[in-house]
Amino acid sequence: MHYRYAMVSMVGSFLSFFRDYQQRFDLADFEREVSRDFDSQEITKVTEEAEKRAKELVTSKEELLKVIGYIDLTTLAGDDTKDRVTALLDRAVAPYAKDAAVKCGAVCVYPARVADVKAHMKKKGYKLNIASVAAGFPSGQYRLESRLLEIELAVADGATEIDIVINRAAALDDDWTTVYNEVRAMKSACGSAHLKTILATGELKSLNNVYKASWASILAGSDFIKTSTGKETVNATIEVSFVMLSAIKRWHQLTGKKVGFKPAGGIKTATEALTYVALVEKVLGKEWLNPSLFRIGASSLLDDVLKKL
């Protein structure tokens, strides 16, 4: 009973935080920043350059090993069990038998499986990031109170990174104040855990909306912005990634602060992954190519990388 009261009190404090921030989003400044168009010819050129560079990088063992370090090794199935997620952790910690130093960037699981991963990690003495898709993943169509509570509980169970999804209904209604306020509240709910904000770009209808969603999420304090849940009809693409990276670049130019980037959904081959590596290098520079600023959400990518090694 005390636990239930504590949870209610915690949600109340989050909602108080949420209300405090509702007056801090300057919509006029936001609209001035995001009123830009994207040149399709420029995007086509950058895409072709990235694809060409990827074909060169895929022949390099060093680059392939780096890709492993970027992977958030993921299972997000309705029939995930304790045995499945602990096996996932075992694999993420030691994916490449020839080099014990090689590890994935994180494992990514549903909130209900975080405690299983954490207990197995403690038992085995592992050190690895635990990411969880909290906050009403993948639809986000839940009350804010429940989304905040899910984040808090996942962190309490051991998650060090939280992958949330924005309110697409608000985004499609052009209500960027709500998008900002909710992400800001979820950032607070994360506490010490890093926040990776999923834009679900395949549902945002336009590149301009992708930029707006990127900018609102960055303003709200996201540590990373992420393309997709992996559950949309269209997931990560080079086109939307270029737009998101442009927002990250703009933020860095204005503030000197770095925000990470995570493409996810449908990235299954080493060449595809290295296309995103090449794109990040092109837009942001090599300094972004480390697991603290670049991840790839994937479940089967590791298999293809290992085959090429």
Q: Are the C-beta atoms of 303 and 67 separated by less than 8 Å?
A: no
Whether 163 is catalytic is yes
Q: Which helix (H) or strand (E) element contains residue 149?
A: helix 144-157
Q: How many CA atoms lie within 13 A of 254 on its CB side?
A: 11
Quote the distance between the C-alpha of residue 170 and its chain's center: 20
Q: Is 226 a catalytic residue?
A: yes
Which residue in 103, 187, 226, 304 is the catalytic one? 226
Does residue 36 sit in helix, strand or coil? coil
C-beta neighbour count of 9 within 10 angstroms: 10
In the set 66, 223, 262, 304, the catalytic residue is 262
Residue 240 near residue 210, CB atoms below 8 Å: yes
Q: How far is CA 277 from CA 136, 223, 243, 301, in A?
A: 29, 19, 15, 14
Contacts from 22-29 at CB under 8 Å and sequence distance 24+? 22/177, 22/181, 25/176, 25/177, 25/180, 25/181, 25/219, 27/176, 27/177
Name the active-site residue from 163, 196, 212, 304: 163
**C-alpha to C-alpha distance for 309 and 302, rounded to whole angstroms:** 11
**Helix locations, 168-257, DSSP H:** 168-172, 176-190, 207-219, 238-255
Q: Enumerate the active-site residues.
A: 163, 226, 262
